Amino acid sequence: MALHSLNKLRAVRRFLVGIRRSWLRYGHGVLVDPSASVSLSSRFIAGRRNDIVVGAQSLVAFKTLVYTQDHVSGEHKPVRIGRHCFIGGGSVIMPGVTVGDRSIVAAGSVVFNDVPPCSIVGGNPARLLRADVEVGPYGRLKNADENVKQMWR
C-alpha cells in the first residue's frame, strides 16, 4: 500500500523537475536535455549562457555542484556532461571538465580532469577506476537488474 501511495507523488516530482529545468535554462543558461534527470538539490553555477550542458538520459544526483568559473584565472570554462552518464551524489565537477558519454562519476568525487567515455572515475581528485564499461540510460550498469534479483531472493 505504501508503494502505491508513493507512486502518486511521481507526477508531482516530474512537474517540479520540469519547472527546475526551465528555471535552469532561462534563469541561469544551463542546458539540460529533456530526457535527463536532475536532482532538485543539485547546484549549477554558470558564468555565461550555455556554459553547462547535460546530455540526454543522464542523471545528476543530489547535492552535486557543477560550476564554470575558474577562481585562479577568473575565466569561464564550459562544462559538458555527455549522454547516458551518472554523476553521483555530493560530487563536484570543476570548470572546463568534459564527462564523456556513458561514464559514471562516483559519489563524493571531485573531478578536475576530463572523464573518458565508457569509464568509471572516483575519489578526490577523481581518478580512473575502470575503463570500457557498458552502461545503459542514466548510467545504469548492464548487469544491475541481475544483481537486484539476487539481492531480493
CA dist 90 and 93 (Å) reads 10
User: For residue 36, which of 61, 62, 59, 64 has the smallest C-alpha distance?
Assistant: 59
What is the distance between the alpha carbons of residues 91 and 75, in angstroms, rounded to a whole number?
22
Catalytic residue among 4, 28, 71, 76: 71
Query: Is-contact 106 89, C-beta < 8 A?
Result: no
**Is 71 known to be catalytic?**
yes
- If we measure between CA atoms, which residue out of 142, 131, 42 comes closest to residue 87? 42
**What are the catalytic residues?**
71
